[in-house]
């Protein structure tokens, strides 16, 4: 009997990576020095259109796409270097992150030529923020249960319904919207289609969802008689289900999946230098060893993507374990460093601020982008275990 296994091969950076890493670090230092961002609680998740335009001008968005669409024809490993450095430095990336890693690759693979020529250069320039409209009040994991519907009309489609938890729909220019285009009786999975929606069109209402931290990141989006022209369909009508998956490997394995609580970990290590303690040292050593392992796994997936492989199962493993890691860090910090917290009661205590942020955000990490149980289902299926 052949035992199912994962494919994680040791991957090294190409020679161009070291120079690129230095360029990114230089950029980060300059931007921090001129005050265009401050590394702090959840800073990489902030939506900052100016910063995305600056990153686009450096050639660091759409890095692997063809030059004729505004891309830079660089390798997946070079893209990895840029992502890792910007995330670790806490640079605000949200205004281009979904467009760069999900919507751009989708348009490149399944979009029509007009969509490619019009949207990809804007995305690569960091000037077109995109949101993703999948989930509904009664359909999250089970996408086939979605009810928001597009009905065929002359020249396009009419949309009615609502979506939930749509990240930054209130700031995005383009929404990648999943809609039911034929009934579940005809087909449960093959009746879903993907559309690109211009958020300025009439018939769209965006309502804020305020999170535990008091931030407005997510929204309910309601569609009432929204008209979408035919040229905004992505790929074939009814085939969105089969398109899902082609872009998952990068999305699920990128360093944001295990660098989410990096600031808290850095604060723990700084604190250790000031007030050493054996239990704290042991805990930090273990967390850093795990961090390095995730980095090797994530890098290995970038290497497989570079070689044209589709490591979706391995990427699901990185997301599942990586988000559990990001949830563990603030809990370790809270249980082992509370005395340090009490010793420093000044108002602008960075450790306390990032820990507070990470504790409140941690529960969402293993829900968004696919829940823990759904990832484990996918891993089991990929290994042929179910
Ligand atoms: C912070 C955050 C950001 C988000 N951003 C977006 C966004 O930008 N765009 C968007 O479209 N959506 C977004 N979502 C929604 C997210 O994708 C869904 O919440 C997620 O897919 C789970 O769906 P649900 O909430 O309906 O839970 P359900 O699908 O109802 O799941 C409830 C529980 O049941 C478990 N479960 C369900 N089915 C199975 C099964 N078959 N086997 C085993 N267990 C199962 C789940 O794992 C979960 O624990 C976001 C969510 C969060 C929390």
CATH number of the structural domain spanning residue 196: 2.40.110.10
Q: How far is the CA of 324 from the centre of ligand 1 (A)?
A: 16
CA distance 21 to 76: 14
For β-strands 216-229 and 156-163, DSSP reports them as antiparallel
Alpha helix stretches (DSSP H) within 197-347: 240-243, 248-253, 262-274, 278-306, 312-336, 338-343
Q: What's the pLDDT score for residue 246?
A: 59
User: End of a domain among 111, 128, 145?
Assistant: 128
- Is 373's C-beta closer than 6 angstroms to any atom of ligand 1? yes
What lies within 8 Å, CB to CB, of 177 at 6+ separation is: 133, 148, 159, 163, 194, 195, 196, 197
Q: How far is the CA of 341 from the centre of ligand 1 (A)?
A: 34
Q: How far is the CA of 371 from the centre of ligand 1 (A)?
A: 6
Q: What's the pLDDT score for residue 138?
A: 87
The per-residue pLDDT for range 168-212, each reduced to its tens digit, is: 999 999 999 999 998 766 666 789 999 999 999 999 999 999 999
CATH of the domain at 72: 1.10.540.10
* Same-domain pairing of 197 and 282: no
Find the mean pLDDT for residues 247-254. 82
Q: Would residue 156 count as lying in a domain?
A: yes
- Is 335's C-beta closer than 6 angstroms to any atom of ligand 1? no
The residues facing 194 across adjacent strands are: 178, 234
Q: How far is the CA of 4 from the centre of ligand 1 (A)?
A: 28
- Is 374's C-beta closer than 6 angstroms to any atom of ligand 1? yes
Q: What's the pLDDT score for residue 156?
A: 97
Q: Which residue has the higher pLDDT, 100 or 182?
A: 100
Atom of ligand 1 nearest to the CA of 370: 21
Residue nearest to atom 48 of ligand 1 (CA): 371
Residue nearest to atom 22 of ligand 1 (CA): 140
Q: Would residue 5 count as lying in a domain?
A: no
Q: Would residue 21 count as lying in a domain?
A: yes
Q: Which residue has the higher pLDDT, 153 or 183?
A: 153
Residue nearest to atom 38 of ligand 1 (CA): 141
Q: Minimal CA–CA distance to 147: which of 165, 134, 157, 130?
A: 134
Predicted confidence (pLDDT) at residue 73 exceeds the cutoff of 70: yes
Predicted confidence (pLDDT) at residue 330 exceeds the cutoff of 70: yes
* Same-domain pairing of 271 and 294: yes
- Is 351's C-beta closer than 6 angstroms to any atom of ligand 1? no
* Same-domain pairing of 123 and 136: no
- Is 323's C-beta closer than 6 angstroms to any atom of ligand 1? no
Q: How far is the CA of 163 from the centre of ligand 1 (A)?
A: 13
Query: Are 173 and 130 spatial neighbours (Cβ–Cβ below 8 Å)?
Result: yes
**0.75 exceeded by the pTM?**
yes
Q: How far is the CA of 252 from the centre of ligand 1 (A)?
A: 15
Q: Would residue 35 count as lying in a domain?
A: yes
* Same-domain pairing of 200 and 306: no
Q: Would residue 282 count as lying in a domain?
A: yes
Residue nearest to atom 29 of ligand 1 (CA): 141
* Same-domain pairing of 202 and 261: no
Residue nearest to atom 52 of ligand 1 (CA): 368
* Same-domain pairing of 278 and 331: yes
The per-residue pLDDT for range 49-60, each reduced to its tens digit, is: 999 999 999 999
Tell me what percent of the chain is helix, strand and coil, each rounded to the nearest 5.
50, 15, 35
Angle at 118 between CA 241 and CA 190, to 5 degrees: 10
CATH of the domain at 310: 1.20.140.10
Q: What's the pLDDT score for residue 187?
A: 65
Which three-class secondary structure state does DSSP give residue 158?
strand
Q: What's the pLDDT score for residue 61?
A: 98
Q: Would residue 208 count as lying in a domain?
A: yes
Predicted confidence (pLDDT) at residue 142 exceeds the cutoff of 70: yes
Find the mean pLDDT for residues 115-129. 98
User: End of a domain among 240, 267, 282?
Assistant: 240
* Same-domain pairing of 301 and 257: yes
The DSSP letter of residue 351 is: H
* Same-domain pairing of 141 and 89: no
Predicted confidence (pLDDT) at residue 339 exceeds the cutoff of 80: no
Share of the chain above pLDDT 70, in %: 95
* Same-domain pairing of 154 and 184: yes
* Same-domain pairing of 33 and 150: no
* Same-domain pairing of 295 and 236: no
* Same-domain pairing of 258 and 312: yes
Q: Would residue 6 count as lying in a domain?
A: no
Residue nearest to atom 45 of ligand 1 (CA): 373
Which single residue is written with the structure tokens 């589709």?
310
Which three-class secondary structure state does DSSP give residue 12?
coil
Q: What's the pLDDT score for residue 244?
A: 73
User: End of a domain among 128, 149, 170?
Assistant: 128
Per-residue confidence at 78, pLDDT binned at 50, 70, 90?
A: very high
Domains held by the chain: number: 3
Predicted confidence (pLDDT) at residue 345 exceeds the cutoff of 60: no
Q: What's the pLDDT score for residue 55?
A: 98
Q: Would residue 341 count as lying in a domain?
A: yes
Residue count of the chain: 386
φ, ψ at 138 (rounded to 5°): -115, 20
Domain ranges, residue 47:
16-128
CA distance 325 to 334: 15
- CA atoms within 13 Å, Cβ hemisphere of 151: 8
Q: What's the pLDDT score for residue 1?
A: 64
Q: What's the pLDDT score for residue 310?
A: 87
Cα–Cα distance list, 281 to 169, 272, 326, 349 (Å): 42, 7, 18, 21
- Is 132's C-beta closer than 6 angstroms to any atom of ligand 1? yes
Which residue spans within the chain are E strands per DSSP?
130-133, 149-153, 156-163, 174-180, 192-198, 204-210, 216-229, 233-234
The DSSP letter of residue 103 is: I
Q: What's the pLDDT score for residue 144?
A: 85
Q: What's the pLDDT score for residue 341?
A: 67
């Amino acid at each position: 009997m052949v035992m199912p296994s994962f494919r994680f091969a040791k991957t090294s950076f190409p020679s161009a990576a070291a120079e690129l890493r230095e360029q990114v670090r230089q950029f980060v230092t300059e931007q921090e020095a001129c005050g265009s961002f401050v590394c702090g609680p959840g800073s990489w998740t902030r939506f900052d259109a100016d910063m995305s335009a600056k990153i686009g001008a450096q050639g660091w968005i759409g890095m692997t796409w063809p030059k004729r669409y505004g891309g830079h024809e660089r390798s997946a490993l070079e893209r990895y270097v840029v992502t890792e450095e910007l995330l670790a430095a806490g640079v605000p990336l949200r205004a281009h992150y979904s467009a760069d890693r999900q919507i751009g690759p989708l348009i490149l693979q399944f979009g029509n030529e007009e969509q490619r020529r019009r949207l990809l250069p804007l995305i690569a320039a960091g000037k077109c923020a995109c949101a993703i409209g999948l989930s509904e009040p009664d359909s999250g994991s089970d996408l086939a249960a979605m009810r928001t519907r597009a009905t065929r009309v002359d020249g396009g489609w009419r949309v009615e319904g609502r979506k939930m938890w749509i990240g930054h729909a209130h700031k995005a220019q383009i929404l990648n919207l999943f809609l039911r285009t034929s009934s579940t009786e005809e087909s449960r999975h093959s009746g879903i289609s993907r559309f690109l929606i211009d958020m300025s069109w009439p018939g769209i209402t965006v309502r804020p969802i305020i999170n535990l931290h008091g931030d407005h990141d997510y929204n309910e989006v309601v569609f009432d008689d929204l008209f979408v022209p035919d040229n905004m369909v992505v790929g074939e009508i009814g085939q969105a289900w089969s398109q899902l998956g082609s872009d998952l490997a990068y999305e699920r394995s990128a360093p944001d999946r295990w660098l989410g609580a990096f600031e808290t970990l850095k604060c723990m290590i700084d604190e250790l230098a000031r007030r050493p303690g054996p239990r704290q040292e042991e805990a930090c050593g273990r967390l850093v060893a795990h961090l390095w392992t995730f980095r090797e796994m994530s890098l290995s997936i970038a290497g497989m993507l570079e070689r044209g492989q589709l490591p979706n199962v391995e990427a699901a493993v990185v997301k599942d374990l990586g988000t559990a890691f990001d949830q563990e860090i603030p809990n370790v910090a809270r249980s082992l460093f509370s005395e340090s917290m009490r010793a420093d009661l000044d108002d602008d205590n960075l450790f306390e601020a990032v820990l507070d942020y990470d504790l409140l955000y941690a529960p969402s990490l293993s829900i968004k982008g696919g829940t823990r149980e759904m990832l484990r289902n996918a891993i089991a299926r990929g290994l042929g275990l179910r």
